[in-house]
Amino acid sequence: MATETRPRQRTHGEGTAVSKPTAAQRDWLRRGLGQPGGKLPLFDHDGQRVHPRTVRACVDRGWAEPWFDNPLKPDWLVCKLTASGRRLVSED
Is 77 contained in some domain?
yes
Is 68 contained in some domain?
yes
Q: What is the DSSP string of 11-80?
A: EETTTEEEE---HHHHHHHHTTTTSGGGBPPSB-TTSPBPPHHHHHHHHHTTSEEEEEE-SS-TTSEEEE
Q: Domains in the chain: how many in total?
A: 1
Is 53 contained in some domain?
yes
Model-level pTM?
A: 0.76
Average pLDDT over residues 32-61: 95
Is 47 contained in some domain?
yes
74-90: pLDDT as tens digits: 888 899 999 999 999 99
**CATH value at residue 27:** 1.10.10
Is 13 contained in some domain?
no
Show the domain range for 40: 20-90
Check pLDDT > 50 for residue 67.
Answer: yes
Is 26 contained in some domain?
yes
Determine the residue type at 84: S
Is 72 contained in some domain?
yes
Residues β-bridged to residue 11: 17
Is 5 contained in some domain?
no
3-46: pLDDT as tens digits: 444 444 443 434 344 678 999 999 999 999 999 999 999 999 99
